[in-house]
Chain A
Amino acid sequence: MSDIILELKNITKIFPGTKALDNVSFQLKRGEIHALMGENGAGKSTFIKVITGVHRPEQGEMFLGCSKVTLQGPKDAQKYGIAAIYQHVTCYPDLNVAENIFIGHEIRHKLGRLNWKEMYRISDELLQSLGINFNSRTQMGTLSVAQQQIVEIAKALSMKAKIIIMDEPTAALTKRESEELYRVTEQLRDNEGASIIFISHRFEDMYRLASRVTVFRDSQYIGNWELDKVSKDDLIKAMVGREVSSLYPKAKTDIGESVLELENLTRTGYFSGISFSVRKGEILGLTGLVGAGRTEVCESLFGIHKADSGKIIFAGNEVTIENPRTAMDLGIGYLPEDRQLQGLILDWGIDKNITLPNLDQFSNGVWLNDQKELEIAEDMFKKVLIKAQSVQATASSLSGGNQQKVVVAKLLTTDLKVIILDEPTKGVDVGAKYAIHKIMSDLASRGYAVLMVSSEMPEVLGMCDRIIVMKEGKISDTMDIADATQEKILEAAMVKSVKDRQ
């Protein structure tokens, strides 16, 4: 039993409306690197936050060594030697390395004066033990992301951390930088005797570093394996393994000519060489991991951020999309990812929200026409089946699913040819999910070209005619629905090297 340094038993964490963790168990052995995998939203982040004391679970127990502990907050976790390092480093770029390491737990002389000499000495010692070639007086902002992460590791060690959690540390790193991080991580295990939980979407990280892997799916614990005894395919199956149910009322449609075409669209730092076309009556899925550049491509098509190079061809003509207005006037509509921030005015009624994008259509010239507005709003209100007391109820009073229906209704007031939906059912309950899928299918049947960004594999497989998978800003695979499987998509999103393109 002393072999196990951290154990969680039957952890359940409930957020209003959802179970984020459902009876999850986990074991971390002393001195191992343990990978934690799962799809977006499988519950990994919540789980980490339980270990670091940010969230308190409704049920379940946590053991450190052999003793049961109850964490009251992040400070507690720190006290027990648990530290987490995140993908986005939270550092002070204008301070130097030692100042960053010791911020919040400075070493002091007797009278409270800061003992800089000691802090620089310990910092240099830590950096040396990690085999690093910059010293503790280097300004943090001049370091690369990988180096900053290593400073974070040093900070964890300075607090005597024995359990270190790394949450997608390689997501923002190049291959060379990842190598550096691997080396330091191994050093951490071998020289410092630390136990590490390593979260990553990349199989290469996992096979290179970890000895065991635990897989979560749908807030549940699926299993854990020795990495040398499990194949990549089995792991992918464990991560997805869901059945596509009747949540996806996709009607068969006649697919017509292409409406919107992209040629080598590039926005430096976000995506490059993106070429595809969306056709009339088609639902095209754009999937991949969060951060693969899917939303950014859509934002360029909608004129939020202009692409640097490449062509957008709409109905046969090359177009420049300056801003959302030009996009909408052409007939391109966009349902943004964050409905509360980007989609709605929460203090306003449903009616005023619905008419906002096309006020000029429901007015007499420059003058508002309350009557006309109310008519169109009520029409839409019924069409998308919003559940609310009245069409004037404030958007903030609605449930997530009904809020999303309002944003969909906003789109439908415009005369569109292409509809881009970015995570249309994220955080939406099952009923509303079905309704939104139904609207989507109807739109395609009526000849709209639909482009849907989604991270949810069953949704992509259930609703799309064709699927494009993006990885690190590039298209890694395109497949017809007939050939698509969850395994293939996941492989393209995580593993497959980017195809060479001329």
Chain B
Amino acid sequence: MIKNTNKLSFLLKWEWMLVALLILINIMNASLSPYYLEYNNMMSAIMAFLDRSFMVLPMAIIIIMGDIDISVASTVALSSVMMGVSVQNGVPMTVAILICMATATLCGFINGLIVTKFKELSAAIVTISTMILYRGIAYIILEDQAASGFPLWFSILGWGDIGTIPLILIVFIAFSVIFWLILHKTTAGRQILAIGQNNTASIYSGINVDKMRLFAFTAAGFMAGITALFLTSKMASTRPNIAIGYELEVIAMVVLGGVSTSGGKGKIHSVILAIFVIGLLKYGLGIINIHSQIVTIIIGLLLIFSTLLPSIGQRVMSKLKIIRQMNL
């Protein structure tokens, strides 16, 4: 029982640590640029990283279940290229959007199918393979060229506002609410956590583990499709190398959000905080023209620090306990 409360208070601290980090970064950014806190500037800062953040939500679910999906960025590329090529060949934009979403969902479904049918393969190996495969197909379709010629209205997705709020932010909030409800308020969410905690016991408790995993990977594909739509709209063109390296940033956001890499633990709201921490940190470092490689180093250090913190915390706790016992 004592152990339990310690854990709870620690998790609370983790969320507050992210909040503190976020405030710190905002103070830093505000002192670096006098315009930072202006509404319009703030919105454009947020829009800069929200496109990839759609993938963070299903990735959190997948990592909580003890899996991983490394192919998400390649899925973005393939579905975006499929959409671009369709439009170039005279397919109406609405149909092209459907093609994009269908491609992405199919990519995720294929990942899920392989992972559940061949349990001897780890999700990491499977999705590294499909990461290469999906992007390879994108290169075959478009070679090393750009596809453009999207209708003007398509750019609304990436640049449009509803009232004064960017469309992308509204969609992101909507998806965040949906994923938060799924993980924390539904029976499916409880089962996701159970699978991550103890896969075998979940099977023996009658949970259809395969179905849940298949669903999670398919959801990751679908959300990669959403990313593809917003990203392509913002850039008004697409290339096979679009979204390259996004998978690592997405995984980094999930891990910084306190999701246990061994599965079974995690909260959607912490993950959302982590999205803003990394996104705004990068933006701030951009203001003062810090070289992009140094930005990577800083984020790497942040990640190592954040993943180590729980075990450091535990070590300190047990030291304290021993000292307390010795005093008694």
| A359 and B191 in contact, given A324-B204, A345-B198, A347-B264 (Cβ under 8 angstroms) | yes
Complex contacts, B264 vs chain A, CB 8 Å: 347
- Contact status A357-B206, CB under 8 Å: yes
Interface residues on B, range: 20 to 34
Q: A356-B190, A360-B187, A393-B4 are in contact. Are A348 and B204 (CB under 8 A)?
A: no
Summed over the interface, the residue pairs from A and B with CB atoms below 8 Å come to a total of 76
Q: Which residues of A contact B204 (CB under 8 A)?
A: 302, 304, 324, 334, 336, 342-343
**Bound complex: CA A346 to CA B3 (Å):** 13
Q: How far is the CA of A336 from the CA of B205 in the complex (A)?
A: 10
User: Whole-angstrom distance between the alpha carbons of A349 and B202 in the complex?
Assistant: 15
Instruction: Give the docked Cα–Cα distance between A410 and B273 (Å).
Output: 36
In Å, the complex CA distance between A157 and B185 comes to 63
Chain A residue contacts of B197, Cβ below 8 A: 345, 347-348
Please report the C-alpha to C-alpha distance between residue A352 and residue B186 in the assembled complex, in whole angstroms: 13
- Which A residues touch B191, using CB under 8 A? 356, 359
Partner of A367, one of B185, B194, B198, B206: B185
- B163-198 residues with Cβ-Cβ distance < 8 A to A are 185-191, 194, 197-198
CB < 8 Å neighbour of A328 from B1, B190, B206: B206
CB-defined contacts of B203 to chain A, threshold 8 Å: 304, 323-324
CA distance in complex: A402, B327 (Å):
33
Within the complex, the shortest CB–CB distance from B276 to chain A, in Å, comes to 27
Within 8 A of B (CB), among A302-346: 302, 304, 323-325, 327-328, 334, 336, 341-346
Chain A residue at minimal CB-CB distance from B188:
A366
Which residues from A are CB-within-8-Å of B185?
367-368
Complex alpha-carbon distance, A352 and B185, angstroms: 14
* Residues of B close to A366: CB separation below 8 A: 186-188
Name the distance in Å between A81's Cβ and chain B's nearest Cβ: 41
- Min CB–CB distance A390 → chain B (angstroms): 8
Judge whether B200 is part of the interface by a CB distance below 8 angstroms.
Answer: yes
B121 within 8 A of A: no
Q: Interface SS of chain A: helix, strand, loop or mixed?
A: mixed
When the two chains form their complex, are residues A394 and B187 in contact, meaning their CB atoms are under 8 A apart?
no
**CB-CB < 8 A to B186: which residues of A?**
366-368
- Please indicate the chain A residues that have their CB under 8 angstroms from the CB of B3 in the complex: 394, 397
Closest approach, in angstroms, between the C-beta of B322 and any C-beta of chain A? 20
Chain A residue nearest in CB terms to B181: A367
Determine the distance from Cα of A94 to Cα of B13 in the docked complex, in whole angstroms.
Answer: 50
Q: How far is the CA of A356 from the CA of B206 in the complex (A)?
A: 9
Contact of A341 among B189, B200, B208 (CB under 8 A): B200
Interface status of A389 (Cβ within 8 A of chain B)? yes
Q: Pick from A324, A342, A345: contact of B206, CB below 8 A.
A: A324
Known contacts A394-B3, A397-B1; decide if A345 and B201 are in contact (CB<8 Å): yes
CB of A344 within 8 A of CB of B187, answer: no
Contacts of B190 in A (CB 8 A): 352, 356, 359, 368
Would you list 15 pairs from A and B whose C-beta atoms are within 8 A, ordered by A residue? A302-B204, A304-B203, A323-B208, A325-B207, A328-B206, A343-B201, A345-B194, A347-B264, A356-B191, A356-B194, A366-B188, A367-B185, A368-B187, A390-B1, A393-B1
Interface residues in chain B, defined as those with a beta carbon under 8 Å from any beta carbon in chain A: 1, 3-4, 185-191, 194, 197-198, 200-208, 264
**List of 6 A-B pairs having minimum Cβ-Cβ separation, nearest first:** A359-B187, A357-B205, A345-B197, A324-B206, A328-B206, A325-B206
